Amino acid sequence: MSSVPPSLCPPIRTLMGPGPSDIHPQVLEAMSRSTVGHLDPFYLEIMDQLQQMLRDLFQTSNAMTFAVSATGSAGMEATIVNLVEPGDKVLVCVNGVFGMRMTDVAGRAGAEVVTIERPWGEVFTAEEVQQAVEKHQPKFIGIVMAETSTGASQPIEEISKTVHDAGALLIVDAVTSLGGMPVEVDRWNIDAIYSGSQKCLSCPPGLSPVSFSHRAVDVILNRRTKVQSWYLDLTMLANYWGSDRVYHHTAPINMSYGLHEAVRLILAEGLENCFARHRQNHLALKVGLAAIDIHYAAQEGHQLPMLNAVRVPTGVDDAAVRSTLLNRFGIEIGAGLGAFKGKVWRIGLMGYGARPENVLLFLSALEQLLGEQGYSFEAGASIAAANAVYSS
């Protein structure tokens, strides 16, 4: 018989990668509270409150707004498999890993998938989308608002108008953007949107907020075929989250406590204050890195505040820097993916992690490691530049 392992004692990390992000202490505290049954009156009240807070966060009045009991990737899958039937034409805008993933999921749902592409780090114009829509006449258009693999921020409002003028429905990936920048579902006329708990919401991974417009709900309710996934069938999930409380699955009670507290904290801070905090820390990091000649990989004017993809300087060992940041300083940052593998670092400033002490700690540690690799820069320049942002 094998020996019993010791009790868990995870290392303390500063999570500054592409997710998960640092968890707010109040969220961890909320998750430690007593578990109740998934149909207990207390839990049902928590569900009602969470549902309304998610509407406020998404800035929508959509009735079908709730949290799927799974990660953000399951939110993507739930959205697509409920809307798409075999043979439906879906146009996906691909400029990074998660556009590619949306393409894969739509294809597995039986869609006739067509794509338009931009180089990694660039974004789509409304004109490009319009030309593709006119050419292919899809039923749905899928696009990633915040491409985690590249740090690119995709404007949605003008593209949404183009999509709806053509009579199509718009599906938006907001996994990284929700809670860190404006996401305005009703004003932008988004038909289906999904996110994840582990990015700017500063909650552990495990829940996926979703929201669907009346047009999207009509499509779901008038399908010709059953949704291929029983667990992700939104009509059954909506009945569980709705007033009838029809049993569907055993919800992750304590994860729901955590997401409830996470969203409550954002709304208590105020959306504009929260977005401004993310912008300020992003700017401090950007100015600090520029002072030591490190620059962003995403298109200028379209750089995410919460996910900073920066080019690894020539001659610097990408993996060695990331490994030493983790082992010596307890700081996690992300490697590049796909076309950016070995070429960029992905630095997260998400939710609770978007604070000055993280920016200054990271810049100080990075300067030390760059100096050890013989990279030439003015010592202390990044920290002074970042502090100037905070001082102003």
Tell me the average pLDDT across 33-45: 96
Query: What pLDDT sits at residue 1?
Result: 78
Amino acid at 308: N
The CATH number linked to 126 is 3.40.640.10
Over residues 47-104, the pLDDT tens digits come to: 999 999 999 999 999 999 999 999 999 999 999 999 999 999 999 999 999 999 999 9
CATH number for the domain harbouring residue 380: 3.90.1150.10
Residue 327 has a CB neighbour count (10 Å cut-off) of 10
Does residue 312 contact residue 344 with C-beta atoms inside 8 Å?
yes
Residues 53 and 149 in one domain: yes
Q: Are residues 259 and 358 in the same domain?
A: no
Share of the chain above pLDDT 90, in %: 98
Q: Is residue 13 part of a domain?
A: no
Residues 106 and 134 occupy one common structural domain: yes
Q: Considering the entire predicted model, what is its pTM?
A: 0.97
Mean pLDDT across the stretch 289-294? Answer: 98
Are both 205 and 68 inside the same structural domain? yes
Question: How many Å apart are CA 186 and CA 337, to the nearest integer?
Answer: 33
Within-domain flag for 6: no
Domain count, the chain: 2
Encode burial over 21-58: b for 16+ CB neighbours within 10 A, e otherwise: bbbbeebeebbeeeeeebeeeebbebbeebbebbbebb
Is 19 within the bounds of a domain?
no
Q: Of all residues in the chain, what percent carry a pLDDT higher than 70? A: 100
Residues sharing a CB contact under 8 Å with residue 145, sequence separation 6 or more, in sequence order: 153, 154, 156, 172, 173, 174, 176, 177, 183
User: What's the pLDDT score for residue 2?
Assistant: 84
Supply the pLDDT for residue 155.
96
Do residues 256 and 277 both lie within one domain? Answer: no
Q: Is the pLDDT of residue 21 over 90?
A: yes
What value does the mean pLDDT take over residues 131-144? 98
Judge whether 115 lies within some domain.
yes
pLDDT digits (tens, 9 = 90+) for 198-247: 999 999 999 999 999 999 999 999 999 999 999 999 999 999 999 889 99
What domain range is 247 assigned to? Answer: 25-267
Q: Is position 3 within any domain?
A: no
- Quick one: 52 and 193 in the same domain? yes
pLDDT at 16: 98
What is the tens place of the pLDDT at every residue in 146-204?
A: 999 999 999 999 999 999 999 999 999 999 999 999 999 999 999 999 999 999 999 99
